[in-house]
Amino acid sequence: MIKRTIMPVLDPSIRNTSFSEVAQGYSLNQVKIEASRCLDCKNPRCVTACPVNIDIPRFIKLILEDRFRDAYCTIYSDNILPAVCGRVCPQEKQCEGACVLGVKFEPVAIGALERYLGDYSLEHNVFRQEIIIDNGKKVAIIGSGPAGLACAAQIRRMGYSTDVYEALHEFGGVLKYGIPEFRLPKSIVDTEIDRLKSLGINFYKNVIIGKTLTIEQLFNELNYQAIFIGSGAGLPSSLGIKGENLNGVYYANEFLTRVNLMKANNFPFSATPIKVGETVAVVGGGNVAMDAARTAKRLGAKKVIIIYRRDMESLPARLEEIHHADEEGIDFMLLLNPVEIIGENYEVKSVKCQRMVLGEPDESGRRKPIPIEEYETIDINNLIVAIGQSPNPIIKKSTPNLEVDKWGCIKVNDYQTSIPGVFAGGDIVTGAATVILAMGAGKTAAFNIDKYIKTL
């Protein structure tokens, strides 16, 4: 069996000072070699493990026949953001994790092949032309992240006039304000969104539903027949410990937004500053923590430490991100949990952490961290909190009869909320999850919206 083709990457010593994209993508030759590894299984486990069931063996076969346009369209019919998902999906837990080749050898690099086709379509301006027949009915989409975009695309294809309302001044949700340029170039997200505009979807920025306009106004004044809420989980969780309000403490979402959207890395040529000292600690072990740590390194921090309360095997981030962070010189201090941030003259000076040991598996299936009476104090200049996000309560506050659970996630039954005609999906329903799960939810919700409107 031929070995899995390694994705070319920028040298770690060059890339940790620059925001250029790390993973460089396959060449044509590499893509052909990798595609030739697929066994074209009769019962492809990779397809079942893909949250949107892309016909993976089919698109791989089309690559081998040099039918790149058809291969791209095969993906696009199930996934409107191939260039994005090829870069950011946790493939090792989904399609590649189920690939039969992984039993004895290494799985087919499905994500890298998907990315090649996504990029091919953007470079060659290849995409599926669609004929849409307007049905005279209107749907509003709240939020332009993956859930909102997937719902908008599907609902528009069914003939509805589709308007997307976004609170921020740019479209794309976490794809724009969260995931850094060195992992997902913003031009790619913009081009994918431009394609949706060409379907006739209208996008409105700087509109906060719940403040600028309410759900009630969308129905009664703007005459929408249905509404989809895809407003994500953008509210950071706090550590709840002493010292969290010191200067030099950031929440990862704010830290990343300052760089990704406000271009704080170009300050003073941009309006927003960011202050990064010599030693930065990032608390957390997911993609958000890896992104914050690697961004801090690129902003000039000499030492960046990930502080995580479990062990290396339990880190929830994508394997590739952990590997890249390690290559870029990020240190991992494991089995530690911050209990106090210590300051001097209102500035962060150090963080006191309690040591943990791992006990029996908890509800998440991972071994539960148990504190022991041992402590370690680490000198730092900044601390970035990346321990999770929950939904922003603005929409709920202005919509009292919208039912949410104790974490503020909207309760749904088949994507239908407690208010007739209001549907929801993505992180606002599940809590912080993944791009492809949010897209799957948006797309399925669109079919339910169509069914609902047809009953009116």
Ligand X SMILES: Cc1cc2nc3c(=O)[nH]c(=O)nc-3n(C[C@H](O)[C@H](O)[C@H](O)COP(=O)(O)OP(=O)(O)OC[C@H]3O[C@@H](n4cnc5c(N)ncnc54)[C@H](O)[C@@H]3O)c2cc1C
Q: Residue 46 touches which of ligand SF4, ligand X, none (CB < 5 to 8 A by kind)? A: ligand SF4
Both tokens of residue 316? 């929830």
Does 110 bind ligand SF4 (CB under 6 A)? Our answer is yes
Closest CA to 118 of 151, 78, 90, 148: 78
Q: Please name the residue that has the structure tokens 């690697």.
A: 294
Binding site for ligand X (CB under 6 A): 88-90, 142-148, 165-168, 173-174, 178-179, 208-210, 230-232, 234, 256, 287-288, 291, 318, 392, 394-395, 426-428, 432-436, 438
SS3 at position 179:
coil
Q: Which is nearer to ligand SF4, 107 or 172 (CB)?
A: 107
Q: Please name the residue that has the structure tokens 């291969």.
A: 71
Establish whether the linkage from the previous residue to 51 is cis, with ω within 30° of 0. Answer: no
Q: Which is nearer to ligand SF4, 38 or 201 (CB)?
A: 38
Does 57 bind ligand SF4 (CB under 6 A)? Our answer is yes
Report the DSSP beta bridge partners of residue 204: 165
- Smallest gap from residue 79 Cβ to ligand SF4 (A): 16
Q: Residue 291 touches which of ligand X, ligand SF4, none (CB < 5 to 8 A by kind)? A: ligand X
Residues 145/253, Cβ–Cβ less than 8 Å = no
Q: Which is nearer to ligand SF4, 64 or 394 (CB)?
A: 64
Q: Which is nearer to ligand X, 154 or 231 (CB)?
A: 231
The interface region with ligand SF4, picked from 98-106, 130-138, 205-213, 296-304 by CB under 6 A, is: 98-106
Q: Residue 325 touches which of ligand SF4, ligand X, none (CB < 5 to 8 A by kind)? A: none
Q: Find the binding residues for ligand SF4 in span 35-54 (CB under 6 A).
A: 38-41, 44-46
Q: Residue 108 touches which of ligand SF4, ligand X, none (CB < 5 to 8 A by kind)? A: ligand SF4
Alpha-carbon span 33 to 425, nearest angstrom: 38
Both tokens of residue 453? 């409107």
Alpha-carbon span 62 to 67, nearest angstrom: 5
Handedness of CA 165, 171, 172, 175 (dihedral sign): negative
Strands (E), 168-220: 202-204
Binding interface with ligand SF4 (CB under 6 A): 38-41, 44-46, 56-57, 99-101, 108, 110
